[in-house]
C-alpha cells in the first residue's frame, strides 16, 4: 500500500480501550443493526434540519424571546423546526417561528408568526422531555446539541450529543440517549452511548490520506446510534471500525453497519 493511501486511524483514548465485560454473547441480527442505522440517519437529518432551519430563522433577526428553544420534527412534507418556549404553566409550547424544509435538508424557509401558536402535542412533549433530561444529564465541559426523535408506543428519544465547535473536528462520545414518556414528563430509561469523548483530531503523516477511523466500546457490544451520526457527519466521508468483545463492526459512509469479524470466545 502506498503512503498516500495509508489508513490513519482515529486516535484512541483511555476510555475507549477494548472492553473487558461483554453484555451479550451473540452478534446482533441484521434487523438490530438496521434499526441502529435508521436512528442514526434520523439523527443526522435532525441535525441538518436544526442547523439550516436555524440559519433561516436567524435571517429574520428575531428577538431572544422569539427564538427560545428550537425543536425539529419530520413530517410527510419534510422537516420543520419550531422556535419557541414553554408557557409558565408548562401545558403548551408557544411557537413564534417555524422553518420548513424546501427541496433539500440544506434549504429552509422561515416565517415569524403574527401571534404565538400554542402546541399541546409533539412540541410540548418534546420540550418537557428536553427539560427533564437536561436536569438529569451529566456530560463533559462541551456545548451539546439536543435531538428528539419518536420512539415506540408514542414515547420519545431525547439525545444529548457533543456539538461540533471547530471546522473539520468531529466529536464522538460523552453522549446519552433518554427514553421519555409520551407526554414528555417522565424519564422511562436512559442509555449512556459512549463513556468519554474523542474526536478525529490527530496528526496524519505527510503524504498520507485518512481512509477510515476506529474506536472501541466499553459500555456495550453494539455500534450506537451516534456512531452512525458521526460517520454521516464527518468529512471527508469514510467508514468507522468499532471494536467490541464479541465483534468488529464497520459503519459505512451511508450509515449501514456490517459485521467485519466475529471474535473468538475466551475460555
pLDDT in tens, 176-188: 999 999 999 999 9
Please give the pLDDT value at position 5: 31
Same domain for 34 and 73, yes or no, is no
Amino acid 67: pLDDT: 86
The pLDDT tens digits of the residues spanning 245-260 come to 999 999 999 999 999 9
Q: Is 116 in the same domain as 129?
A: no
116 plus 148 within the same structural domain: no
Q: Give residue 91's domain range.
A: 50-120
Q: Quick one: 215 and 134 in the same domain?
A: yes
Q: Are the CB atoms for 148 and 160 separated by under 8 Å?
A: no
Q: Which pLDDT belongs to residue 210?
A: 77
Which has the closest alpha carbon to 90: 123, 51, 124?
Answer: 124
What's the pLDDT tens digit per position in 158-212?
999 999 999 989 999 999 999 999 999 999 999 999 988 988 766 667 777 778 9
- What pLDDT, on a 0 to 100 scale, did the predictor assign at position 25? 63
pLDDT at position 203: 60
Q: What is the DSSP letter of 163?
A: P
What pLDDT shows up at residue 15?
A: 33
- Say if residue 16's pLDDT is above 50: no
Identify the bridge partners of residue 262 per DSSP, sorted by sequence position.
247
Does residue 249 form part of some domain? yes
Across the strands, what pairs with 247?
A: 262
Domain stops at, among 120, 153, 171? 120
- Looking at residue 207, what is its pLDDT? 73
Domain-located, residue 267: no
Q: In the structure grid, which three cell numbers stand for residue 54, read together?
A: 436555524
pLDDT in tens, 20-79: 333 456 889 999 999 999 999 999 999 999 999 999 999 999 988 788 999 999 999 999
Last residue in a domain, options 120, 144, 169 = 120
Q: Say yes or no to pLDDT of 229 above 60.
A: yes
Cell numbers given for 154:
408514542
* Cis preceding-peptide flag for 236 (omega within 30 of 0): yes
All three cell numbers of 22, joined, read 461483554
Give 72 or 13, the one with higher predicted confidence. 72
In this structure, the answer to whether residues 145 and 63 fall within a common structural domain is no
Residue 165 sits in the same domain as residue 251:
yes
- pLDDT score recorded for residue 74: 98
Are residues 134 and 193 part of one domain? yes
Specify the pLDDT at position 18. 36
Find where cell 498520507 sits: 208
pLDDT digits (tens, 9 = 90+) for 132-141: 999 999 999 9
Measured distance CA(239)–CA(10) in Å, rounded: 11
Predicted structure pTM score:
0.88
pLDDT tier at 266, thresholds 50, 70, 90: low
Domain count within the chain? 2
Same domain, 156 and 57: no
Task: Please indicate, yes or no, whether residues 130 and 14 belong to a single structural domain of this protein.
Answer: yes
Phi/psi class of residue 136: alpha, beta or left (left: φ > 0; alpha: ψ in -120 to 50)? alpha
Amino acid at each position: 500500500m502506498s503512503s498516500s493511501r495509508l489508513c490513519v486511524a482515529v486516535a484512541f483514548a483511555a476510555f475507549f480501550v477494548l472492553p473487558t465485560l461483554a453484555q451479550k454473547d451473540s452478534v446482533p441480527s441484521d434487523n438490530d443493526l438496521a434499526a441502529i442505522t435508521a436512528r442514526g440517519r434520523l439523527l443526522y437529518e435532525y441535525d441538518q434540519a436544526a442547523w439550516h432551519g436555524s440559519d433561516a430563522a436567524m435571517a429574520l433577526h428575531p428577538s431572544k424571546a422569539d427564538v427560545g428553544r428550537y425543536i425539529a420534527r419530520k413530517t410527510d412534507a419534510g422537516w420543520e423546526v419550531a422556535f419557541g418556549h414553554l408557557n409558565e404553566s408548562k401545558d403548551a409550547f408557544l411557537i413564534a417561528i417555524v422553518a420548513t424544509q424546501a427541496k433539500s435538508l440544506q434549504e429552509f424557509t422561515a416565517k415569524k408568526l403574527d401571534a404565538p401558536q400554542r402546541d399541546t402535542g409533539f412540541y410540548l412533549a418534546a420540550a418537557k422531555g428536553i427539560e427533564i433530561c437536561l436536569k438529569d444529564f451529566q456530560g463533559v465541559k462541551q456545548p451539546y446539541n439536543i435531538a428528539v426523535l419518536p420512539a415506540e408506543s408514542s414515547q420519545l428519544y431525547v439525545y444529548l450529543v457533543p456539538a461540533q465547535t471547530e471546522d473539520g473536528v468531529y466529536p464522538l462520545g460523552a453522549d446519552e440517549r433518554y427514553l421519555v414518556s409520551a407526554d414528555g414528563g417522565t424519564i422511562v430509561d436512559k442509555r449512556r452511548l459512549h463513556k468519554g469523548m474523542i474526536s478525529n483530531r490527530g496528526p496524519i503523516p505527510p503524504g498520507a490520506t485518512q481512509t477510515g477511523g476506529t474506536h472501541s466500546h466499553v459500555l456495550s457490544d453494539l455500534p450506537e446510534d451516534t456512531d452512525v451520526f458521526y460517520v454521516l457527519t464527518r468529512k471527508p466521508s469514510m467508514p468507522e471500525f468499532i471494536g467490541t468483545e464479541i465483534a468488529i463492526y464497520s459503519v459505512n459512509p451511508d450509515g449501514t453497519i456490517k459485521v467485519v469479524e466475529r471474535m473468538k470466545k475466551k475460555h
